[in-house]
Amino acid sequence: MYIRRVTRKNKNGTTTSYLQLAHNEWDPKAKYAKAKVIYSFGREDQVDRAVLERLASSISRFLSPEAALQSKETVGEVASFLFQSSKSVGSLWLLDQLWKKLGMEEVIQACFSSRQHEMDIERLLFTMVANRAVSPASKFSLTSWVEEDVYVPGVETVQPHQLYRVMDELLDVRAELEKNVFYAVSDLLNLEVDLLYFDTTSSYFEVSPDEVSEDETFRKQGYSKDKRPDLLQTVIGLAVTREGIPIRVWEWPGNTMDMTVIEQVKQDLIGWKLGRVIQVADRGFSSEKNLRILQQTGGHYIIGERMHAGKKDVEEALSKRGRFQVIRENLHVKEAIVGDGEARKRYVIAYNPDEAARDRMKREQIVASIEAQIDALRQEANEAHHKKACALRAHPTYGKYVRQLKDGTLRLHKQAVRDASKYDGKYLIRTSDDTLSIEDVALGYKQLLEVEDAFRTLKTTLQLRPMYHRLEERIRAHVVISWLALLLVRIAELQTGETWTQIRKEMNRLHVGHFSTKDGDLFQCTEVTQKQRRTFGALGLKPPPNILDLQANS
């Protein structure tokens, strides 16, 4: 049924138009549909427009809000629309759809199912996770962020006290949450979890040590990997799969040493049904005690060894003769077995020609600088040392290449330079698994860079640091939220082949406009670009509909 316009040509050459309410009926004889007039409104120039508006209004009571909106546009009411605001929706929509695809919604709801809450914990937790990934800010800033800047599906407003309450309760279900998230993600993505990479980093707090109470147990000063030893910090551990997906995160007091955490990591992963697990770790975890822990319950390890540690076994492995096998242009490897029987140790020596050239060039620059500084000292035999000579000997880089003669003068230590050249472009790897090829060992250790990339994303893109929380529970919850954001970000990067920075920049261009009329509110998205559509397609997600929401006035 529709309104049609019929025109008639008058004798004086003018035309007159008539409006009719009609519908099509099938004519079996003519074999096509013919228009049947139900009602004639008369001449178009004499029709009372209010009659048509009342008709459209009465019909719209039986239509969906979107269909009613379309019917109002046909009678000219679009002019009454007010453009209230515009919010970014693309990144939030992508993260929300990915969050639900991974089953996170069900996992969170299951973890908190026994708790009675008036607030929607799952939506509040997602809001904090999404904020970390899209525009990291404090919990107090989230209120204005949600209300003014972004469209968060299912969330119209948040209050800081709600977010802090979610953080406080998050740790109560953390163990269950971590395990269920791992199962949901590994099943959906078919992750290979026989090889796990583990490393630690540190993250600091913007607070002076003088401002901390004596009973502080978590925020401590320690070895800072952020080069901020002047600030309090916490130590963070991360385990990722060979694809770079972070499956678990840990936090320890800021003065925790790397070598002391491996036992807890091993125990925490027991019962996760990981099958044969080969843990890959950096040189900071290569103590004999840690290696024994990693081999408990049938586990294995691939771990970096310090070449300058002075260990007898390491020196013997490095002195083994043999040709390097070329795996890749920048990766040559050879195997070295040290000892027999239970004392047998398997090493793999890796060599990177490009890295060797860089090491050699860097050392040549250091040697040239040392020689220039020694010449500038203008030393005399048995002369008392002055500050510049002492500073050169104590220098962390130059000092090892400087020697002092019996008469007190300084000279370049040529033997130290020759010894250092033996290590150019090389690194030493130790493994407990004899079934792995030397290629798998070398490539497995090289993939430890995935953890370093994850830490870099945490600290820069997701702005994990600096942290402003004071309570240990809030600090731990903040790290867990950042881990969940990293999980979504890494999956998006893995499946699209682009960095999260690139994805986020493009998705943030997708906006939703809020329009209001006397009949209700309309939320309409800007057109999805081809690039945005490709990103959604690569992740197996649907872009937001053109009409995101309609809220009719009662």
Least confident range of 68-77, 159-168, 323-332, 458-467: 68-77
pLDDT at 263: 81
**458 and 324, same structural domain?**
yes
- Would you say residue 79 has pLDDT above 50? no
- The reply to whether 141 falls in a domain is no
**441 and 396, same structural domain?**
no
Sign of the CA dihedral 423, 311, 308, 261?
A: positive
- The reply to whether 428 falls in a domain is no
**396 and 292, same structural domain?**
no
**444 and 331, same structural domain?**
yes
**401 and 253, same structural domain?**
no
For the stretch 485-528, pLDDT in tens is 999 999 999 999 999 999 999 999 999 999 887 778 888 899 99
pLDDT at 493: 92
For the stretch 26-78, pLDDT in tens is 778 877 777 888 778 788 888 777 777 777 666 666 555 556 555 555 544 44
**278 and 197, same structural domain?**
yes
Least confident range of 130-134, 158-162, 437-441, 476-480: 437-441
- The reply to whether 144 falls in a domain is no
- The reply to whether 349 falls in a domain is no
- The reply to whether 166 falls in a domain is no
- Would you say residue 297 has pLDDT above 70? no
For the stretch 81-104, pLDDT in tens is 788 889 999 999 999 999 999 888
Least confident range of 64-78, 97-111, 248-262, 327-341: 64-78
- Would you say residue 80 has pLDDT above 90? no
Sign of the CA dihedral 332, 356, 283, 465?
A: negative
pLDDT at 17: 87
- The reply to whether 109 falls in a domain is no
For the stretch 450-498, pLDDT in tens is 778 888 888 888 888 778 788 889 899 999 999 999 999 999 999 999 9
Q: What is the pTM of this model?
A: 0.72
Least confident range of 212-226, 319-333, 344-358: 212-226
**Of the residues 421, 453, 478, the one at which a domain ends:** 421
**283 and 398, same structural domain?**
no
First to last CA, the chain: 27
What domain count does the chain have? 3
**Of the residues 443, 468, 493, the one at which a domain ends:** 468
Average pLDDT over residues 233-257: 88
**439 and 417, same structural domain?**
no
pLDDT at 63: 59
pLDDT at 74: 52
Residue positions counted in the chain: 554
Instruction: Please give the angle made by the CA atoms of 481, 444 and 360, to the nearest 5 degrees.
Output: 105
**279 and 200, same structural domain?**
yes
**441 and 384, same structural domain?**
no
In whole angstroms, give the CA distance from residue 124 to residue 85. Answer: 23
Structural domain harbouring 11: 1-47
For the stretch 383-416, pLDDT in tens is 666 788 888 888 989 999 999 888 888 889 999 9
pLDDT at 277: 67
Identify the helix (H) or strand (E) that includes residue 513: strand 511-517
**384 and 245, same structural domain?**
no
**315 and 449, same structural domain?**
yes
In whole angstroms, give the CA distance from residue 260 to residue 264. Answer: 8
- The reply to whether 130 falls in a domain is no
- The reply to whether 146 falls in a domain is no
Identify the helix (H) or strand (E) that includes residue 550: strand 547-552
DSSP string, 170-197: HGGGHHHHHHHHHHHHHHHHT---SEEE
